[in-house]
Amino acid sequence: MKNFLRLDGRSILSVPYMYIDHKDYLADSLLTQNHVSVRFGSEFSRDNSPYRIIICKVRKKDTAEFEKSMELLCNKMLLFGHNDYMEFCNNIMETLGQNRGAA
């Protein structure tokens, strides 16, 4: 199960990512704990959903720790009782996969 995507970017210093988080921003503490430097960009959500799609940039040297943090986020969501998180991520990733290149 994937809750993030590595996006195409042109920077030599950073890598753009998209990840799915909760409205309480549970990923932030994991990123801080793993010493990942992140620059946050746009954020997208629906009114009736507790989840957010967040666009960010991560330093190239921190990408492995970022991806490790995203794996830990799945476990943290379950610990906090967000049992539908994995299903939500699968639906979003499936939708993105179907629409990739459609524009």
Two structure tokens written together for 8 = 């195409």
Number of C-beta neighbours around residue 97 at 10 A:
10
**Residue-wise pLDDT tens digits, 14-61:** 999 999 999 999 999 999 999 999 999 999 999 899 999 999 999 999
- What pTM does this model have? 0.90
1: nearest Cα among 77, 62, 55, 64: 77
- Domain spans, the chain: 4-84
Q: How far is 93 from 55, CA to CA, in rounded Å?
A: 14
4-84: CATH number: 3.30.1370
Contact call for residues 57 and 11 (beta carbons, < 8 A): yes
